[in-house]
Amino acid sequence: HLTLQYEFKGWEKIFIKTDFGEKVEAIAPVILSASRVTDIPAFHSDWFINRLNKGYIKWINPFNKRPQYVSFKNTRVIVFWSKNPKNMIKYLNIIDAKNINYYFTYTINDYESEKLEPNIPPLEERINTFIKLSNLIGKEQVIWRFDPLILTDTITLDKLLEKIKNIGNALYKYTNKLVISFADINIYKKVQHNLQRANVKYKGFDKNDMIYIAENLQELNKNWHLSITTCAEDINLNKYSIEKNKCIDDNLMVKCFSSDKTLMKFLGKENTEINLFTNNDYNKKIDLKDPGQRDFCGCIVSKDIGQYNTCMHLCAYCYANTSQNLVRRNFEKLSKTGESIYI
């Protein structure tokens, strides 16, 4: 998902002093993504809070292995991506004390019987964590993802919809949005290999499959009243009241964090009348679309601070892990408090 050679160049550059007394150049992004490529709340929350208190992290570019220093000096929003944010909840007061805004995109799938997500907690526990987090920070700031939608020789369209329905019935009072995506397994060779090794017989979605899902979600949503959106999908499902999503979402930031003048200035909203009850885009002074994401991704710019091959959920369909053995070896040497996730 991340084509990092096209990373946003507009962040302020500053000099910082490292833990070792070295003066180095760092970028100071306004928006952090934590993270598309690993579950920081689940596995690296201690490290993250330690680095937040230190004021910077060292991120390793996966393509050229060069370090990049990332300062929290200008950070106004952190977008957390997680399948199990339970470990981060105890640290939210620290983030609050630093006057940094945040929201969670919380993936709750149900692939338990298929064992596609072997190291996540039981579904009931994950639902309870979602409800707790929603009650703590507000349902606008906890977004439910069922991502990816997968078809296999045992997961039919109707079985998949039943899984979504059961979770949705438990969560709809505690969130305002459901985000879905259709698994694009054929574009990721390593995902194909990982699924083959796990003996998962997957099936791609065709247009009719997607429409069938959309029609049934529209029917389910008569009870839920959620905003249902797709993540980085080409297909237009507006006919079924399903829009295209921004996971790093300036409109959500305006709704939730409009009192943050620095953030509003960055988003180009400081002189715009803010309507808190609309999903419409606002006029922008600059193009904030993230150049490092896929063509159909709607996200605005952020700096992702995750590292590949560091997520121990070990989901069979994961694009961010090369192999389970590599992840396990990495976890034996991962840093808990060092500058980088890696030692």
Q: Which residues lie closer than 8 Å to 5 by C-beta, 6 or more apart?
A: 63, 292
Q: Is 110 within the bounds of a domain?
A: yes
| Count of other CB atoms within 10 angstroms of residue 58 | 20
Q: Is 278 within the bounds of a domain?
A: no
In this model, does residue 2 exceed pLDDT 60? Answer: no
Domain span holding position 62 = 4-248+290-333
Q: Is 284 within the bounds of a domain?
A: no
CB 212 within 8 A of CB 157: yes
Residue 185 is predicted with a pLDDT of 81
DSSP letter at 299 equals: -
Q: Which residues lie closer than 8 Å to 70 by C-beta, 6 or more apart?
A: 26, 27, 28, 29, 32, 56, 57, 58, 59, 303, 305
Residue 216 and residue 299: Cα distance in Å, rounded? Answer: 26
pLDDT digits (tens, 9 = 90+) for 44-96: 999 999 999 999 999 999 989 999 999 999 999 999 999 999 999 999 999 99
SS in 3 state form for 235-286? CCCHHHCEEECCCCCHHHHHHHHCCCHHHHHHHCCCCCCCCCCCCCCCCCCC
Q: Is 13 within the bounds of a domain?
A: yes
In degrees, rounded to 5, the angle at the alpha carbon of residue 38 between the alpha carbons of residues 32 and 41 is 70
Q: Is 9 within the bounds of a domain?
A: yes
Q: Is 31 within the bounds of a domain?
A: yes
pLDDT digits (tens, 9 = 90+) for 174-193: 999 999 999 988 777 778 88
DSSP 30-72: SEEEE-SSS-HHHHSHHHHHHHHHHTEEEEEPTTT--EEEEE-
Long-range contacts of 93-101 (CB under 8 A, 24+ apart): 94/49, 94/52, 94/53, 95/52, 98/52, 100/72, 100/75, 100/76, 101/76, 101/77, 101/253, 101/256, 101/257, 101/260, 101/263
pLDDT digits (tens, 9 = 90+) for 33-45: 999 999 999 999 9
Q: How confident is the model at residue 271 (pLDDT cuts 50, 70, 90)?
A: low
Mean pLDDT (the chain, rounded): 92
Q: Is 93 within the bounds of a domain?
A: yes
Domain count for the chain, please give it: 1
Q: Is 270 within the bounds of a domain?
A: no
